[in-house]
Chain A
């Protein structure tokens, strides 16, 4: 089993290094093929491990080597494959394989083809380290690794000003959160004397709740950054500057769910501090609603999907916060499938439209790209939570949990959000694939994507349809490690009504989107677009503006002040003074260098005499 573990972990790294060798050379299809097959190999190994565990096998736990040994601190380089991490591994490698194959078509005309695959595989490796590590420090290394790869990939087209800006924004936002995470890890080490999951979690029950609360809060700050929760959410929408396969893999299916994974992983800790859990759930519900409202009005196809990712992450945090860890993980998995599918579909559309993102310039495209339309409709139905698609099962469970634990406000917010989700998903579908063919007015000639790209997407489509039916098996599997969530008796009586009202609002959302688009092109009328609420949402609740005013501008002013006052007048002046002194001394004494041997000899004698005098004086005084 260890062999499978190491293969799953290091195959992506090997692929990344291989592609990295050709990083600067022109496109070479071999890099794409090699990295894809290595990722596929990793997927197969993960599958083997998954099957091994599913059949009741032992948890695989290896210590590869000692890593940090300093005083009392002992952190081995260890990996664990248990029910949670093997689920994550399977999701990560599956989506990665699909995205790698898809990227061979998507990036076919790009100059940085080899570099792209190198980064992408490096990302998969970091993600595997993150999910497989058996201690918090290894998780943190993976955490930083995915952050780095995300930075590299968002800024992949580095000649674009906006791309580099977005990459830096994502990186800096994550740094802020990572500080919180680091403090959490320090606190863990300080209180438990170890960073190994099993050692820490075996001690949490006897530990003071105040300390646990602080640890929980700081770790969650880290999770907020990675999973782009309010108020650190702005980077995710801007991260859409990167190539679309990157958005599908990193900013939908895997990296952004790392925060949820952290909460699930630390469930022993969080289940002891329900107040923090409640805070997480409330924030999650707020973000779910908040992001969904922004998605309602956005005209950028990728941004709408990014906001919906944000919103779905909110759902996962509600489940995680309320103690239904397995449901959070379930939604994480189903979401990874349908959201990656949605993004890759959006990638096909973008490719066909010469990288045009504005959905108002599309329309009626089902006639030219029928398969993409079908795939995206499947993904949107799953996202909207319509039976029998995967999203229905996982999202409904989250709503049940909220209702069951008597958090009716959370339930209400999520219920409304479910309607909004359905509406905005189908607004996009309607505007892109149905209605008048507006793209003709703008001179676009869309075409369907390569056959192999569509085939690559098909496993995701299948999973987006059927994954929900494995709910029971999934529950049995992950609860081997995760705690059960006990639904109360009463919930069984109302569960039917709950499903009915949720499906009802989702169908209403879809209906409104479909009919308003039929009735009027563009869904929203001009009168509505001048409405205050519309503008409020269109400007993302004015949050980027507020950040700009509150943080960026004062910071620039402070920096300018320090630059003009401190840097120029003190630091620079000192350094310049030293340089000027040396320069003038040189200017003044260059007369010595007359080239005349006689003069030089005289200087030699003078110097010699001076040294002699000094030596004599020194000897005299030191005696």
Chain B
């Protein structure tokens, strides 16, 4: 039997992995993957908790997140391709125009 705790643990682990990726990766594409992992870990948690309470709101929320994540990725990837075409790399360390 898979309990709620198992889902939560899985979601937390996935979130940590995603967070680790966000912190250490400098490749922009990998950064996107890491963000997607984090988003999906949250989705898992939402769905699991929603099932546990037998309340559909959480699942609806998960759908929203999926939809928004898809559009976000579409824009992100578009920008990323543009960047790659201009500069020939997608290394995060080269994006420094915000230096204070």
Which residues of chain A have a CB within 8 Å of any CB of chain B? 590, 593-598, 601-602, 605
Contact = CB atoms under 8 A, between A and B. Distances in A.
Given A605-B22, A605-B23, A595 B92 contact: no
A605 B99 contact: no
Given A595-B96, A598-B26, 14 more contacts: A590-B100, A593-B98, A594-B96, A595-B95, A595-B98, A595-B100, A596-B95, A596-B99, A597-B98, A598-B92, A601-B22, A601-B23, A602-B23, A605-B23
Contacts of B3: none
A596 B95 CA distance: 6
A598 B19 contact: no
A595 B98 CA distance: 4
Interface in B55-100: 92-93, 95-100
B100 A598 contact: no
Contact of A593 (B22, B23, B99): B99
B22 A595 contact: no
16 contacts: A590-B100, A593-B98, A593-B99, A594-B99, A594-B100, A595-B97, A595-B99, A595-B100, A596-B92, A596-B95, A596-B99, A597-B92, A597-B95, A598-B26, A598-B93, A605-B22
Contacts of A595: 95-100
A454 B86 CA distance: 88
A605 B24 CA distance: 12
B100 A596 contact: no
B100 A605 contact: no
Q: Which 5 A-B pairs have the closest CB atoms?
A: A595-B99, A593-B100, A595-B96, A595-B98, A598-B92
Given A593-B99, A595-B100, A605 B19 contact: yes
Which interface residue of A590, A601, A602, A605 has the most chain B CB atoms within 10 A? A601
A605 B31 CA distance: 14
Interface string B1-34: 0000000000000000001001101100000000
A596 B93 contact: yes
Interface residues of B, number: 13
Contacts of A602: 23
Contacts of B99: 593-596
B96 A596 contact: yes
B82 to A, nearest CB: 16
A597 B95 CA distance: 7
A590 B98 CA distance: 12
A12 to B, nearest CB: 61
Contacts of A597: 92, 95, 98
Interface of B: 19, 22-23, 25-26, 92-93, 95-100
A595 B26 CA distance: 13
Contacts of B26: 598
Contacts of B92: 596-598
Contacts of B97: 595
B34 to A, nearest CB: 10
Contacts of B22: 601, 605
Nearest to B19: A605
A311 B85 CA distance: 95
A356 to B, nearest CB: 66
Nearest to B20: A605
A598 to B, nearest CB: 5
Contacts of B100: 590, 593-595
Nearest to B96: A595
Nearest to B100: A593
A595 B94 CA distance: 10
B48 to A, nearest CB: 21
Contacts of A601: 22-23
B56 to A, nearest CB: 28
B92 to A, nearest CB: 5
Contacts of A598: 23, 25-26, 92-93
A593 B98 CA distance: 8
A597 B76 CA distance: 15
Nearest to B95: A597
A596 B99 CA distance: 7
Contacts of B19: 605
A593 B99 CA distance: 6
A48 to B, nearest CB: 76
Contacts of A590: 100
Contacts of A596: 92-93, 95-96, 99
A601 B98 CA distance: 13
A248 B99 CA distance: 70
A598 B28 CA distance: 10
A313 B70 CA distance: 91
Which interface residue of A590, A593, A594, A596 has the most chain B CB atoms within 10 A? A596
B17 to A, nearest CB: 13
A598 B99 CA distance: 12
Contacts of B93: 596, 598
A596 B94 CA distance: 8
A601 B95 CA distance: 13
B99 to A, nearest CB: 3
B12 to A, nearest CB: 12
A616 to B, nearest CB: 14
A596 B19 CA distance: 17
Contacts of B23: 598, 601-602, 605
Which interface residue of A590, A595, A598 has the most chain B CB atoms within 10 A? A598
Contacts of B25: 598
A594 B97 CA distance: 9
A438 to B, nearest CB: 76
A412 B19 CA distance: 103
A595 B99 CA distance: 4
A618 B74 CA distance: 39
A81 to B, nearest CB: 72
A31 B98 CA distance: 59
A563 to B, nearest CB: 39
Contacts of A593: 98-100
B90 to A, nearest CB: 12
A65 B96 CA distance: 68
A597 to B, nearest CB: 5
A396 to B, nearest CB: 87
Nearest to B35: A601
A590 B97 CA distance: 15
